[in-house]
Structure 1
Amino acid sequence: MMRSVNRSDRADAPAPLVFIHDAAIDDFVATLLIASMPQFDLRGVIVANADCVPEYGIDVASRVNQFIGKPDLPLGLSGARGWNPFPWPYRGDCIRLADIPSLAPYVSTVPSPPPPGDDILADLLQAAVADAEPLTVLLTTGFTPLTNVLDARPELVAGIGRIAWMGGALNVAGNLDPKTIDPAVANTHAEWNVFWDPFAAEGALARLPKISVFPLDITNSAPISPALMAKLESQASDFTFSRFALEAYELVSAEPFYDMWNVTAAVWLDAPALYAAAISTPLQVVQWGFEQGWMQAGTGPDRPSHDVYVSFADQAGFYDYVAERLARSA
């Protein structure tokens, strides 16, 4: 059990944050950004077996933690299992990321099998309840790693301060590709973080307090731009964070569909003024049939409203923020 801290001892302390992701390339750039935010204290990283090969994903996460100077940061593998597995061509990105030069000096310290991510998350939430110090949850995968823990211990929801989640597509097309999954299930509305486990997404959106949602509506406006790549290249010789991001994004920047999905959610935590006002609405998810995983504006008096961010107020400022935050070294 984690130590209880007197509230007066932490008046100016950074807010605790847990990052739950699935080891996509963009997740690790987001990790660097979080490490650069002085008002947050990254307390743990949970990797889900979703858009990754889990053994490689958690090993890369261990090496990234060392890279940012947090070798002892709690790191675990979630026990969550999705309903619709991510395509294998997507999941291999973490294998390629393992070979970038920036990570060459580091060796994973994760044992086999990895520590249970569910236990780490439960401990962090329990500490948040005991200390009356709400935990910020950055979630860039399906909801299952979070809802599994809360289903087992519902009282831990009191430890959550806010949730920033990348997922869904509200008023734009989804991203299921009939070239990578069977056209019989590749509907045009679902986004992968919802489609992976539509039941967990529905449960979370129906029961959890207000969630800040970053769907494809906004992430479609956050491609890995040539201007950002040029800026990172100009900074790479001076700053290790820029060099890492450049090497990571070079693996996928030529792919026209690859956007800065998870970075979009992460940046909002520190720079919400860059985002246009959210749409406040209940949300629901289609559970069965061809449209499974379609996130829609919901109905019903018992559903909480969530803040859905669909556009930037300052798109150029978003890119400037990313470049400026990555102009640093571990």
Structure 2
Amino acid sequence: MKEIYFNHDGNIDDLVSYLLLLQAPKIKLLGVGAIDADGYIDPSVEACRKLTDRFNLRNDHLEIAKSNSRAVNQFPHEWRMATYSFNYLPMLNEKGTIQTKQAKLPAHLDLAEKIKNADKKITLIMTGPLTDLARALDYDPSIEEKIAKLYWMGGSLNRHGNVAQVNADGTQEWNSFWDPYAVKRVFASNIPIQMVGLESTEELPLSDKLRQHWASLRKYPAMDLVGQAYSLIVSVPSASLFLWDVLTTMSALYPEIVETRTAKAKVITDGLSAGSFDETPSGREVTLVTKANKKLFYQKMDELLKSAKLK
């Protein structure tokens, strides 16, 4: 049985990823941490607590850890507001109370303690910045040996970025731009890393066809929740969104849904290219996802969402 710790930054894709992890068979969730990046931290933690109350059918013992890590470069306010909307969805608030508790330790210490006390090497899924892991490694370097693999949504090796700010040249991805120094710290470790970059999910756009698919299956509670969640995101063709975080999570559960290649990459920490990557022979080795099996991805995602029952 794979034991997993999930660290995320609270936007729609992250919260849908958490819903999928709550339904996945043959895993155990050791912990969940949320960081104040692509979604505001308080509604993010609260939404995870509510998701746990309603969908934790494996009855994993879970408390949600709140990060106190801070940004080098913060996400746009307009993007982050979606977390508040998700947290207000009626299905999550029907009971009017929250049973799942917030963890006593901040997320980086919760992560370190969960890894340290695990019976086996853990799988780490991170769909936001790497800051909590970097801080956990600084706090207790011994945990490095107990991480079997890191699955990270972040970066881009083809210089295709999604940051449009005056202090950036547009070649960087937001999760790495949020804290480039944390990326450098984690890449200095020996933890095996599988990386889903911006270039990894071109087969998986958030499209009207996909929205209609979820709508047609709304008799399933988790499908209904996912359809409502993604209805909060409105994009234009020039700024298309893709299921980056969900692919990262699903590839950790079902490795067969992706194709990969080995790459050597080095992060830039300063200047207008901070958060960008150079693919260079002197870089550290990562496994880069290059392609997704679209049919199998949606098949597995549907299976998990259809299997969910409300508590």
Using the size of structure 1 for normalisation, the TM-score is 0.86
Partner SS for 1:311 = strand
The 3-state SS of whatever aligns with 2:290 is coil
The CA deviation string for residues 30-64 of structure 1, in whole angstroms up to 9 with x for no partner, is 11211222121111110001111111111111111
Distance (Å, rounded) in 1 between the aligned partners of 2:161 and 2:61: 38
The CA distance in 1 between the partners of 2:163 and 2:9, in whole Å, is 17
Decide which of 165, 173, 185 is 1:203's aligned counterpart: 185
Unmatched runs of 5 consecutive residues or more in structure 1:
1-13
**Cα distance in 2 for residues equivalent to 1:326 and 1:228:** 14
Aligned counterparts, 1:215-230, within 5 A:
215-230=197-212
**Letter of the structure 2 residue corresponding to residue 309 of structure 1:** V
**Aligned AA for 2:274?**
Q
Q: Distance in 2 between matches of 1:259 and 1:114?
A: 34
Equivalent of 1:296 in 259, 269, 278: 278
Q: Does 1:329 align with 2:308?
A: yes
CA distance in 1, matches of 2:26, 2:280: 34
Distance, in Å, in 2 between the alignment partners of 1:158 and 1:71 is 24
Calculate the TM-score normalised by the size of structure 2.
0.91
Distance 1:220 1:143 in 2: 23
- 1:215 Cα deviation (Å)? 0.3
Pairing partner for 1:306 from 276, 283, 286: 286
Work out the CA distance in 2 between the residues paired with 1:45 and 1:113.
9
Partner of 1:79: 68
Q: What SS does the corresponding residue of 2:124 show, helix, strand or coil?
A: strand
Q: Write 1 or 2 for the structure with the bigger share of strand.
A: 2
Q: Are the counterparts in 2 of residues 51 and 86 from structure 1 also a CA contact under 8 Å?
A: yes
Matches within 5 A, 1:8-47: 14-47=1-34
User: Please, what is the CA RMSD of the aligned residues?
Assistant: 2.0
Tell me if the contact between 1:168 and 1:295 (Cα under 8 Å) persists in the aligned partners. yes
Mapped pair 1:283 → 2:274: no
- Contact 1:74–1:120 at 8 Å: present in 2 too? no
The 2-side partners of 1:271 and 1:58 are apart by 26
CA deviation digits over 1:278-304, x for unaligned, max 9? 22122111111111111221332xx54
Partner amino acid, structure 1, of 2:191: P
Provide closer, same or farther for how the CA distance between residues 321 and 227 of structure 1 changes in structure 2, counting only shifts above 3 A: farther
Select the residue among 158, 168, 171 that pairs with 1:186. Answer: 168
Question: How many percent of aligned residue pairs carry the same amino acid?
Answer: 25
Cα contact 1:236–1:246 (8 A) shared by 2: yes
Letter in 1 for 2:249: A
For residues 324 and 225 of structure 1, do their structure 2 counterparts lie closer, same or farther at Cα, with a shift above 3 Å needed?
farther
SS at match of 2:128: coil
Q: 1:101: which partner in 2? A: 90
Shift of 1:240: 1.1
- CA–CA separation in structure 1 for the residues paired with 2:288 and 2:158: 11
| Alpha carbons of structure 1 residues 287 and 119: separation in structure 2 relative to 1, 3 Å | closer
Q: Specify the code of the residue in structure 2 equivalent to 1:272.
A: P
Partners of 1:138 and 1:266 within 8 A in 2 = yes
Letter in 1 for 2:31: G
CA pair 305-322 structure 1, distance change in 2 beyond 3 A: same
Q: Secondary structure at the match of 1:64?
A: helix
Which runs of 5 or more structure 2 residues have no equivalent in the other structure? none
Q: Which moved more, 1:196-205 or 1:251-260?
A: 251-260
Residues 81 and 298 (structure 1), Cα distance of their counterparts in 2 relative to 1, 3 Å cut: farther
Equivalent residue of 1:252, what SS?
A: coil
**AA partner of residue 259 (structure 1):** F
**What letter matches 2:172 in structure 1?**
A
